[in-house]
Amino acid sequence: MENNRDNLVVIMAGYADRMDRFYLANPGFRSRIAHDIDFPDYSDDKLGRIADTMLAGQGYCFDEAARAAMDDYVGLRRAQPHFPNARSIRNALDRARLRQANRLFQQDGPVSAADLSTITEPDLRASGVFSGGLDPDGSRKRDEA
């Protein structure tokens, strides 16, 4: 590898505490890593905008109460172990869309185009994040998102 170092890029990524343990596994690792880049977590506001953008890209939107529930979700999820930033938002939205589809399927009567494209508060608040979330070791207690 040393002879081809100009033609080789290795990217290692992970949570900071786990990467520290990885480096400690072999004391020579740290000296072989030329660049260590720490990407800070997104702000709550930025995560809210990411959620809005992801939904809009799929033809969905939040109603007003669901938007507030997403803000609550971000605050609660961030406080849990191993917060995965925007991936958590994507997972939460995927599950909210599944809940929305189930809710509409069980609904009596016609379903409007607005119904089909709107995520409501119950679609989000059914998340396990609102009822205890993750165990301290990061394993899922129930539905993470």
pLDDT digit string, tens, across residues 97-110: 999 999 999 999 99
How far, in Å, CA of 52 to CA of 70, rounded? 10
pTM of the model: 0.76
pLDDT digit string, tens, across residues 110-143: 999 999 999 999 999 999 999 876 544 445 554 4
Question: Which domains are seen in the chain, by residue range?
Answer: 2-32 (no CATH), 44-131 (1.10.8.60)
| Residues in contact with 89: Cβ distance below 8 Å, sequence separation at least 6, in sequence order | 47, 50, 51, 54, 74
Percent of the chain with pLDDT over 90: 54
- How far from each other are the two terminal CA atoms of the chain, in whole angstroms? 42
* The pLDDT value given to residue 143: 47
